[in-house]
Amino acid sequence: MRDLKDRKELLETMMLIRAFDEKVDELYAEGTLHGTAHFYVGQEAVAVGVMAALEEGDVITGTHRGHGHAVAFGLDLERMAAELLGRASGYCHGKGGSMHIADVEAGMLGANGIVGGSMGIACGAAWAFKQRGEDHVAVCFFGDGAVQEGIFNETLNLAAVWKLPVIFVCENNQYAMSLSVKRGFAHEPLSERASGYGIAGETVDGMELDEVHRAASAAVERARSGEGPTLLEAVTYRYLGHSKSDANLYRTREEIKQWRTHDPIQRFAAKLEEEGVLEKEAWQSLNEQAKEQIEEAFAKADQEPEPDPESALEDVYA
C-alpha cells in the first residue's frame, strides 16, 4: 500500500495517475492496445484523497475505471502496464486486462467490469474485518451509474444493518457513459440516499483533494470505531470519453473546458505552492518525472514476454 502521509506524495500520485491514463489513451489512439479502457483523468483527487485516509491492512475495490484506484493504492506501474499489454508479467498474467487489475494479497481486491459488481465484495471484506475483530476498513469505489443498480440498495442496507466498516465512495463524474446525472436521477445530491439507510452521508468537491481526504478520514474513523458505513459522494468529472471509443455526443466542449478549470492537480499544486511545500513552478518538473516514470514502466513492460497460449487453460480452478 502506498504511503501517502506526505503532501508532495499526494500530488505526485495524482500526476502518476494522470500520466498513466494519458499514456494508455495514446496507446489506444495509435492502435497498440486492444480491448478497451476507461480513463481516470480528471478524477485523481478522489482516489488519492481517499487512499490518504487508509492504513496498511485496509482494502479497496475498484471499478471499470480502475487504473486510478490501483495506482493510488500503490500497485506496481510496470506490472499494470504489462497487464494492459497482455504480458505474462502483468498483474493477471494477461488474462484480465484493464478492467480486472488486482492485487488481492496487498488488499486491492480488483477493478471490476460490472457496474456495481464489487459492492458486495467490499461488504464481504468488511464483514471479515468485523468478524475477526480487526479494525480495518474496506473502501468501495463506484460511479454515479452504480447508484442506479439494484446492488447499491442491497449492499448499503446490509452494511447499515450490520454496521460494517465499509466506505462507499461514489465518484459522481456527472455521467454514466452518455447518461448525465440530471437524466439518471430525479434528486441530488446522491449522498442524500444515505439517510434512508440510516447511515452517514456526505457530498464533497471531488476536485479538491483535501476535501476528499477530510471527508474520507471522518468516514474511516466512523468505520473503525464501529459506527458503520458512510456514503461519500465525490463530485468530479471525467475529462476524456467514457472509454477509448466515445464521440462525446452527449456533452459539450464548453462543459469539459469549464470543468478543466477546476483541475484537481493544478489546484492542489497551487495550494502546495502557497503552503510552501512546493517551490514555484516545481510542479512542472514533478509532472515530467511522473510522465517519465510511466514511459519507463510501459517501455519495460513492453520487453516482457507474452504468456504461453496454453496458459489460457489454467487458473480456472484453484
Partner 1 sequence: MPNGVPNGVREITYREAVREAMVEAMREDAEVFLMGEDVGVYGGAFGVSRGMVEEFGEGRVVDTPLAEAGFVGLGIGAALMGMRPIVEIQFSDFITHAMDQLVNQAAKLRYMFGGKARVPLVVRTPGGAGTGAAAQHSQSLEAWFIHVPGLKVVMPSTPYDAKGMLLAALDDPNPVIFYEHKLLYNRKGDVPEKAYRVPLGEARVSREGEDITLVGAGLVHRFALEAAEALSDEGVEAEVLDLRTLSPMDHEAVLRSVEKTGKLVVVEEDVKTAGWGAEVVSRVVESESFYALDRAPARVAGADTPIPYNKNLEAFIRPTPEKVVEAAHKLLDSRAGVYA
Ligand X SMILES: Cc1ncc(C[n+]2csc(CCOP(=O)(O)OP(=O)(O)O)c2C)c(N)n1
Cβ atoms 143, 170 nearer than 8 A: yes
Q: Candidates 60-68, 85-93, 183-191, 233-241: pick the segment binding a copy of itself (CB under 8 A).
A: 183-191
Cβ atoms 236, 46 nearer than 8 A: yes
Residue 246 C-alpha from the chain's centroid: 20
Q: Which set of grid coordinates corresponds to residue 63? A: 471499478
Residues 128-147 that bind ligand X (CB under 6 A): 143-146
CA angle 65, 66, 70 (to 5 degrees): 160
**Number of residues written out for the chain:** 318
In the complex, least distance from residue 63 CB atom to ligand X, rounded to whole angstroms:
6
Q: Which of 185, 246, 256, 262 binds a copy of itself (CB under 8 A)?
A: 185
Q: Candidates 70-78, 88-96, 131-139, 178-186: pick the segment binding a copy of itself (CB under 8 A).
A: 178-186
Q: Which amino acid is at 16?
A: L
Q: Which residues on neighbouring strands pair with residue 176, listed in sequence order?
A: 179
Q: Candidates 80-88, 122-130, 169-177, 252-260: pick the segment binding ligand X (CB under 6 A).
A: 169-177
Residue with cell 489546484: 267
Q: Fill in the per-residue mask, 96 to 125: x = in contact with ligand X (CB under 6 A), - = not in contact.
A: -----------------xxx----------
In the complex, least distance from residue 38 CB atom to partner 1, rounded to whole angstroms:
12
What SS3 class is residue 166? strand
Residues 132-151 that bind a copy of itself (CB under 8 A): 148-151
Minimum CB distance to partner 1 smaller for 112 or for 173:
112
171: closest CA among 310, 88, 72, 81?
Answer: 72
List residues with catalytic annotation. 238, 242, 250
Q: For binding to a copy of itself (CB under 8 A), which residues are involved? A: 148-154, 157, 160-161, 163, 183-187, 192-193, 195-199, 228
